[in-house]
Amino acid sequence: MAGSVRAMKVAGLAFSVVLLFAACGSDDDGDAGGDGNGDGASNGASDDISATATEFTFTPAAWTAPAGTTVSIDFTNGGALPHQWVVINLGEDLDSEADFSEDKALFEIEIIGAGSSTTESFNIAEPGTYQVICAVPTHFDAGMEGTLTVS
């Protein structure tokens, strides 16, 4: 009888743990909020976003932010090479890194080394979809880009 009581307690504890993880779990896009932008916000735009750079991709590769609001970005270099996060002026979409010049950058996080991270803020007033690139030579041409939707 003592063995069956112990088994019931263990089963009850296991069930509680499963429920806890189910309640705290995420949906298919990896965020707990369910809006698809990975930041936990429910309206699709957030005052706080994050990006991780590796060779040669951003994770996530798409972000949303509210127009006219100061947005904080946590940028982490999870790769072995230096990386940066550059928002290109609206309407200046680049086809290759040969098209890039500093005057086309609306906002940029300076190059950070492998294993480093930084938090910076920006404010974009004009709604639209902005191209985001890594402007370190060869990275954009290797496919390192994303989009920032400001709404």
What is the rounded average pLDDT of the residues 28-36? Answer: 35
Determine if the pTM surpasses 0.85: no
- What is the structure's pLDDT at 45? 72
Does residue 103 sit in helix, strand or coil? Answer: helix
- What is the structure's pLDDT at 44? 58
Evaluate if residue 14 carries a pLDDT over 60.
Answer: no
The number of beta carbons lying within 10 Å of the beta carbon of residue 114 is 14
Indicate the pLDDT class of residue 26, thresholds 50, 70 and 90: very low
Evaluate if residue 27 carries a pLDDT over 60.
Answer: no
Domains defined along the chain, listed by start: 48-150 (2.60.40.420)
Question: How many whole angstroms separate alpha carbon 82 and alpha carbon 138?
Answer: 12
- Mean model confidence pLDDT for the chain: 79
- What is the structure's pLDDT at 40? 37
Structure confidence by residue, pLDDT tens digits, 86-98: 999 999 999 999 9
- What is the structure's pLDDT at 6? 39
Structure confidence by residue, pLDDT tens digits, 102-123: 999 999 999 999 999 999 999 9
- What is the structure's pLDDT at 46? 72
- What is the structure's pLDDT at 54? 98
Indicate the pLDDT class of residue 100, thresholds 50, 70 and 90: very high
The residue whose two tokens read 């880009």 is 145
Does residue 121 contact residue 70 with C-beta atoms inside 8 Å? yes
